[in-house]
Amino acid sequence: MKHAARLSLASAVATSALALLAGAQTASAAGFYIKEQSVTGLGRAFAGESAITEDASTIFFNPAGMTRLDGAEATAGVHLLLPRADMENKGSSTSARTPLGTVTRPTGGGDGGNPYDPTPVPNAYFAYPVLNKDLWVGLGISAPFGLANKYQADWFGRYDSIETDLLTLNIAPSVAYKVNSWISIGGGVDIQYADAKLTNAVYTGTASDILSDVEGNDWTFGYNVGVLFEPIPTTRIGIHYRSRMEHTLDGSVKLSRGGTTFNNTPGTADLNLPDIIAVGFAHEVTPKLTLMAEYNWYGWSNFEEIRVKRPGLPDQVVGQNYEDTFSAAIGAQYKIDDTWTVRGGFQYDETPTVDNFRSTRTPDGDRYWLTTGASYALTENFTIDVAYAHIFIEDADINTQQAGAAPVLSTNTRATSEGSVDIISAALRYKF
């Protein structure tokens, strides 16, 4: 009986914890996609980013744009994300089935505090012409997905999440070719690493919870391709496709109580990240003023479930039911003189999450971006870029079920999240 109880406990915790491992991959953009891959782009809310090709960060948004650079260029930047989230308990509870019926009690605990610390997101790009500026090669290093939050250990949502720490690294060797004066093509290979650590409490029906600590990582590969049209010298249209990324996260689940580990279960969980289609437009109204627009489509609907596989045990499935989404942005850029350029933009960013499957690890709602930025040319070769963004996030309802330490036990986390994000960014560009 003790062996059966332990097997049931390991099964329940592995299901919830490894599912959350993959779910957490699912933080500044809607869902879990991090758009902050360019400081100049952030300044205009990423409007026209697949078309404007202002610097080497075009490697991420549309590598075909390398052919429109003046020459070899390197850029490196960092975005400081300052997220805030407030959780309000809307009736979270624990349940236990007994011979006399189901006993339901409210889940005690505070609101968890602001779970977010300031988080830096770095990126770097290098573009180089190898054939009369018609053939280009480039390399991009970025972190396109990520999340880090930590609630107080005794908060009311502890059975859903306590700590989430996700890191991704994307390395993208790229190439571009200028077909003629108005068409360029480009593409790249995406080599992506994902690493995550997550913790949550497991309900035992007693005053003493079990702590589940999950770790997992994986390497995988994808690709991206793009085309850039310049029908007239003042207008550019860019189209870019980024493939879905399919990770298989190898993880382990450590169970502890009172600081003592009593179970360590290996497992894997497949994670499908969305493919992305981007269409951008940039038009030079005057030699000083440029207007931009961008539309992105995200194929989140392939993220329907988390299937957890464990040696010697049945697969466990947790529904996600993400939906396909879009974002749309408009922006403007004004060149004051040869030294100063200023920019601004607005973006609407739709969340892929739905109320009955949304987690406190990703308390996400539709987002509205307001951004501004500037560039200052220190010399003919060196330029400093800065940008600021404020993201308004719609309140999000959370209503999730979690398995307890035995089949007769379960919990229900019900909450409303209110949040926002501030972003401060800076980059240095060098033209060779």
193 in helix, strand or coil?
A: strand
Please answer whether residues 148 and 165 qualify as being in contact, where contact means their C-beta atoms are separated by less than 8 angstroms: yes
- pLDDT the model gives residue 30: 64
Distance of CA 432 to the CA centre of its chain: 32
- Tell me the sheet residues that pair with 82: 422
CATH of 2-431 given 2.40.10.220, 3.40.640.10, 2.40.160.60, 2.40.50.100: 2.40.160.60
How would you class 283 by CB atoms within 10 Å of its CB: exposed for 0-12, middle for 13-18, buried for 19 or more? Answer: middle
Beta bridge partners of 127: 73, 138
CA atoms of 398 and 108, how far apart (whole Å): 17
DSSP bridge pairs for 137: 128, 175
Q: What tens digit of pLDDT does each residue of 245-285 get?
A: 998 889 887 889 988 888 888 878 777 889 999 999 999 99
Express each pLDDT in 159-194 by its tens digit.
Answer: 989 998 878 899 999 999 999 999 999 999 999 998
Angle at 126 between CA 123 and CA 131, to 5 degrees: 160
Amino acid present at 344: G
pLDDT for res 6:
39
- Residue 314's pLDDT is 61
| The pLDDT value given to residue 11 | 41
pLDDT band at 1 (very low <50, low <70, confident <90, very high): very low
Q: What per-residue confidence (pLDDT) applies to 406?
A: 79
Q: How many residues does the chain have?
A: 432
Name the residue ranges covered by the structural domains of the chain.
Answer: 2-431
Provide Rg for the chain, Cα atoms. 24
* pTM beyond cutoff 0.75: yes
Q: What is the pLDDT of residue 21?
A: 35
Mean pLDDT of 83-89: 94
What pLDDT, on a 0 to 100 scale, did the predictor assign at position 355?
81
% of residues, the chain, pLDDT over 70:
90
Q: For position 22, what pLDDT does the model report?
A: 35
Cα–Cα distance, 88 to 70 (Å, whole number):
52
pLDDT of the residue at 29: 67
pLDDT at 401: 85
Q: CA–CA separation, 345 vs 291, rounded Å?
A: 10
Q: Is 20 helix (H, G, I), strand (E, B) or coil?
A: helix
